[in-house]
A and B are shown apart, each in its own frame.
Chain A
Amino acid sequence: KQEVTQIPAALSVPEGENLVLNCSFTDSAIYNLQWFRQDPGKGLTSLLLIQSSQREQTSGRLNASLDKSSGRSTLYIAASQPGDSATYLCAVDTSGTYKYIFGTGTRLKVLA
């Protein structure tokens, strides 16, 4: 059964820092991996999608990498801003199913 883990559970950094959020999964037979952002009390906003054949995706200050063989993905945020404060979730779409399995998220706070 696929399990997804995100470490750390919470992170507090000063504005301007570059930071890395981690996501690990137990079954490497994935179709894709997606990173989401969630603001308090709101739905999820898609940030980046990485197909299983890809190694990384970039959008603005965000870069996500995928290493299927080791069951890991990282989300790199460059030059963090207070507006980046949110919970970041990763989800994997395991091959052969239609299900997204989510990690429990990393709650990020960027201090001004």
Chain B
Amino acid sequence: DTAVSQTPKYLVTQMGNDKSIKCEQNLGHDTMYWYKQDSKKFLKIMFSYNNKELIINETVPNRFSPKSPDKAHLNLHINSLELGDSAVYFCASSQTLDSTPQYFGPGTRLTVL
């Protein structure tokens, strides 16, 4: 069973569109994260949620809005997509706020044309 899953795996869209990426973890963890991997492969944290509550919001444009309907899901909605949003987005989870993310999802490669 996949611990952290993301859909879709690939997303190609036009500038200006709105898109969502979904993430689910079946580990019973309290904390979930979104990371962005740039073209040089550096991963950078965007958001973290603990029990559906926003904990970290790292200087991310307002066009990015995470939503956590329950603690097993953390979705990422992006409005008015820009070329610079092209990247691989990874979801992760950890048991608690203070513990280390053990598993990341397989990533969603977003390409904005």
Are A and B bound to each other?
no
Taking beta carbons and an 8 Å cutoff, which residues of A are in contact with B?
none
Taking beta carbons and an 8 Å cutoff, which residues of B are in contact with A?
none
